[in-house]
Structure 1
């Protein structure tokens, strides 16, 4: 897929992987990038960076957990800035905690943003893409959508669901000339995971590498884009020796004691 001259909408664009993808698309020659997240001030900062790269940026503060708000603002954005050629569903949250110590509000937040927010946005954009008979949808899953991770049960569940959703849409929307692609980053060094206890033996990647991998995957027209050699190794290992990968995941996961210390440390930092 050629990015040049395209209008692109990126959710979760205020930071992390979403921000890096928006900036990378601007460097690749995108004409217009609609930036979606909850915090308008952060979106404006990203928009300034994108404008410096020669692309038009449109900051659009939207709470993806509010379907009515999403419907109104996306309809307005399509009218004012469309048609949108490419949608990147990148918005997401994660909570790291042993399942037996998890809290229902955190679980509901992950489900609401990672799944329902993506579903709401995709439904609105895909219907309009079907009318114009062209478009590309990129759903950001995770390596945890292939291999579940202890202490990340709900997050893994949402990322597995995103892969199933993507595969189903890929088949359904192909008749409308709409491509549907999954992007699967491994552990990425972003604000979202700054208070996490990272898994042993896992080398974190950067948002910029994820964005570059996405561009290369689009050029190759890959239906699923894995990021980094560790991800490829893990997926192959899980395919041929799932029992071994499950054991490795258990050994690599942070211990309960480390989890408790991490939460105390995070609580102390937030109170200052």
Structure 2
């Protein structure tokens, strides 16, 4: 995909991976960026950094789980700023907790943002992309969308679901010249990582590396973009020796050690 002269919309753009992707797109010559997140002041800070590069930025403080507000904002943005060529669905939340101590509100929160929020905005943008016969949709899943992680049951479930969602859309939207890609970062060094009881043996990558890997991947005809050789190795092992990966995951999980408390950390990943 050529970025020059294009317009991109990035959700979860106020922090972490979403912020890094927005900055990387700006550095690579994108013409216009629409930035979506719930925190308007943080979006404004990101916009200031991008505008300093000479790229036009529009901030859209939105809760993507609110379909009416999202529909209104997308329709207005399309009218005022023209077609969106690239949609990056990066907004997501996670609650790290033992499944036996999890509560229903946590589960609903993850399902609402990670799945329904992504569905809401993708449906609105994809219909317009199909009419213009051009577009690329990136759904940010996770390595946990391939290898489920103890203490992250619902989060893993949503990331597995995003891979299925991406695969289904890929087939449906191909006749309209709309490409669908899944990005699978592993543990990423964002501010939220410092509050996690995370997994042994995992070395975090930088958000910038995730963003750079995405941009490089967009130049290739690949349906899934993995970040780092460790992710490629883990997915290869999952395919050919799933029993081995399951044992390693159990050994690495926080619950294989004495937890700090019955309920582990609750964090917002992006946006």
**TM-score category, normalised to shorter length:** over 0.9
Task: Work out whether residues 85 and 134 of structure 1, in 8 Å CA contact, stay in contact via their aligned partners in 2.
Answer: yes
Question: 1:260 is matched with which residue?
Answer: 261
Q: Using the TM superposition, give the Cα deviation of residue 252 of structure 1 relative to its aligned residue in structure 2, in angstroms.
A: 0.5
**Partners of 1:94 and 1:192 within 8 A in 2:** no
Q: How does 1:101-250 map to 2 (within 5 A)?
A: 101-250=101-250
Q: Which runs of 5+ in 1 are unaligned?
A: 268-272
**Residue 50 of structure 1 aligns with which residue?**
50
| Cα distance in 2 for residues equivalent to 1:75 and 1:19 | 23
**SS where residue 170 of structure 2 aligns?**
helix
The TM-score, its normalising length taken from structure 1, stands at: 0.95
Query: Match of 1:80?
Result: 80
Bigger proportion of residues as helix:
1
Secondary structure class of the residue paired with 1:35: strand
Q: Give distance in 2, aligned partners of 1:82 and 1:148.
A: 39
Deviation, structure 1 residue 103: 1.4
Q: Which has the higher contact order (CA 8 A, sep 6+)?
A: 2
Question: Residue 2 of structure 1: CA displacement?
Answer: 1.0
| Alpha-carbon shift at residue 262 of structure 1 (Å) | 8.3
1:93/1:192 contact within 8 Å kept: no
Q: Please tell me whether the aligned partners of residues 197 and 262 of structure 1 are also in contact (alpha carbons under 8 angstroms).
A: no
Cα RMSD of the aligned pairs, angstroms, is: 1.5
What secondary structure does 1:138 align onto?
A: strand
C-alpha separation in 2, matches of 1:5 and 1:192: 34
Gapped regions of structure 2 (runs ≥ 5): none
8 A Cα contact 1:195 1:262, kept in partner: no
Partner secondary structure for residue 94 of structure 1: strand
Stretches of 4+ aligned residues off by more than 4 angstroms: 261-264
Contact 2:101 2:262 (C-alpha < 8 Å) held by counterparts: no
CA distance in 2, matches of 1:178, 1:39: 30
The change in CA–CA distance for 1:43 and 1:16 in structure 2 (over 3 A counts) is: same
Could you list the per-position Cα deviations for residues 167-206 of structure 1 after superposition, in whole angstroms to 9, with x for gaps in the alignment?
0000000000000000000011113333111110010111
The offset of 1:142, in angstroms, is: 0.2
Tell me the matched-pair count.
266
